[in-house]
Structure 1
Amino acid sequence: MPDLGFLSASHDGSIRLWAQSGEVLLEMIGHTSIVYSVDAHASGLIVSGSEDRHAKIWKDGVCVQSLEHPGCVWDAKFLESGDIVTACSDGVARVWTVRDGMIADQMEIDAFDSLISQYKLSRKKVGGMKLDELPGLDALTLPGTSDGQTKVVREGDNGVAYAWNMSEQRWDKIGEVVDGPDGVGDRPILDGAQYDFVFDVDIGDGEPIRKLPYNRSDNPYDAADKWLLKENLPVAYRQQIVDFILQNSGQKDFSFNPSFRDPFTGANAYVPGQPSHAAATPAKPLYKHIPKRGVLVFDVAQYDGILKKMTEFNNTLRSDPANTDKSMTEAEVSRVGAIVKILKDTSHYHATNFADMDIALLLKVIQAWPPAMMFPAIDLVRMLVLHPHGASLLIKHVENNNDLLLDVIKKVTEDSALPANLLTTVRVLVNLFKNPSFHYWLQRHHSQILDAFSNCYSSPNKNLQLAYSTLLLNYAVLLIEKKDQEGQAQVLSAALQIAEEEGADVDSKFRSLVAIGSLV
């Protein structure tokens, strides 16, 4: 990449951008198998091809789109036009475009989709058997023979596990089965690693399906802790996740292995009802949660609720003669709807752009509207910073003498600060860590930002506590990377306040402890 360095594709599923001096500038994680090729375009986009059957498009280190293929993607290259050509193991070269006039007709698109489905069906195995060999739903008309007996049946393109409930004489659905531990070569892969199980977990509330990996040799409590932290979920779910793992992996009678060694002390595990084991030879510490690598973000939004609230507030201002001049025009309201439409379409983030006026409009609303009405616009900015082009436009408003983000921070933290404004603003700051372009700004203003929100640790609002502790955790990751010892000391002090706060939420304490562990 001119003026930056060079790219490498790796056997571990990662792509790296290197400086000519040999320093790693950026690491891109997303492929689940060997990456065979990587290429860059003058626009700044990067494309990679992998054995996981996907060509991925990257912008500013973030995967903005995945192009699925009916086989391994041996090579992927940009054409001068910005189109992408891929070479697949099925012997076909394909050209991918965002230009409307060049897109294939619907018949060809349908044929390609059918090819993908057929490939998946032919390759998919469940418990060591081919999917098309599994019985259909009619197999559930026959009663089970013992309580807890499991049966896997075919539902569309998936294998679904059921367990026999003897007391109620019915089959209870367990969930989709990706694969079992039989047949090492066919074990499911997630994030470049093979597992005995990869469960689909639906936590509801409109959240996306999460992937939960697990090996039979794992301690289910450790697996649950690690997964909850990775997925940015409350620690309160821990026992539910452990029960889910034990039920779906057939380990209902799980007990700790007496040969277990505590990773911190090297001692044996404590088993209730038995004498304590003597301390073993100290083992090399194996820390599962520290140091924290990568940042957390708040990437789920109720867009319909945000639009509804902004429209409601705008109508209130418009009907008030003293505030009519602060309300949005019909054209501006329409533009907010267009912004939301772009943000909802995450699969086309690499090809969608905002206008400068879009950022200016949201910032104007935040600056002009009364404090009690600011939070939905701030929440929209929270999601906008996760869009590559949106983030690149926003940073223009913070890299000059008129730093509008600092102005917003000052406004929301003034006397009688409202929890909704504090919550949405802290979440904006948390999401800024996702884009490397903001790292310098975040480091430069870390003291000012942490001081401004220092009282959040004792807030009765648990969501605000969690957002603040996440901000500290992200700052710990960044400042460790930047070797900023002064900044690390301030983050450590703030994290200790949360850890020592009796009324702090358990999830907030957990993240503060991860930050402390990473820093020390």
Structure 2
Amino acid sequence: MDMEIDFKNYQLSHELRGHEDDVRGICVCGNAGIATSSRDKTVRYWVPDPTDKRKYESSKILLGHSSFVGPLAWIPPNPDFVEGAIVSGGMDTMVFVWNLSNGEKFLSLKGHHLQVTGLVLDDEDIVSCSVDCTLRRWRKGQLVENWEAHKSAIQAIIKLTSGELVTGSTDTTLKLWKGRTCLHTFAGHSDTVRGLAEMHGLGILSASHDGSIRLWSLTGEVLMEMVGHASIVYSVDSHVSGLIVSGSEDCSAKIWKDGACVQSIEHPGCVWDVKFLENGDIVTACSDGAVRIWTSYQERIADPADLDSYVSQLSQYKLSRKRVGGLKLEDLPGLEALQIPGTTDGQTKVIREGDNGVAYAWDLREQKWDKIGEVVDGPEDGMKVACS
């Protein structure tokens, strides 16, 4: 693919509905399907809809975690698992292996003391990381080794194509591992390293609570720093085309090309996880319970009705969050409140006009409400009136 191709904006392709709470994790299972994890304690497995190539349908719901589920990994089909398997880790400290043929729990891996935050497959082994600061290696259902890898919570782990493991931690560093040996510590973020990904042929991507994304060479140089999110960056992923996607607390997924943000996709909630599909489409996990697929291919864009529905989900969400003088905008009275006369001269009233709060003062002599101006939130939820 020629990298000089103009970047085409991503648009909504499909919404996967079923989770009843925040969707926390996404695992792309080759071309077979997509697994998602949620605060609703379930893992869901979605497969392409045979009748519409844009869509996915729910295939399995994996039940067994007793608290919210985070990291996921996929085991491709093998003699033990004809349709492959899913590995999931939870707030309940457990790691489960699920057989996708029947949706049943195949293995329970017990050992972590706190929340499981990351999972990778290392040949036949599963390696898990946790808020308990340890890495644990499981082989055929048994713990074969574990070690303290950081002095603070480990938040993420990936396996590089070259075989090494990389961890990211609340101690603000990344560590590169060959077996139990730390080959390098990457220092530079000013807050928790929350998400990791490999950028093919270039190095390691890290997403941080400091709001930035970094690309590091394996020897520790910062090759690129991507700044643009307004809050914690939870996740990052890259595509062979050279595009990078990131998900943040600021309710957006951002797409980066050569270090610059080329698109910001607004969401009706926090974006917990982002992943590329092989074809370049993007999957996002949002706190509103929806998994969404975004595409830059015309033939995969959602129908106009679905696009409109998304626009209204967004505006509803913004309305529900908008505060005026410390009050929720949606709780303010409408224009009809101006039919009620004031009682004292200069009495003020804030009403909702469209998406804004507008202040009025009662003019006792004229017996009418005078518009003072739009209300904007001042510091500490105090009220400021922008005089019109």
TM-score, structure 1 as length reference: 0.32
Rg larger in 1 or in 2? 1
Normalized per residue, which structure has more strand?
2
Larger relative contact order (CA 8 Å, sep ≥ 6): 2
TM-score, structure 2 as length reference: 0.42
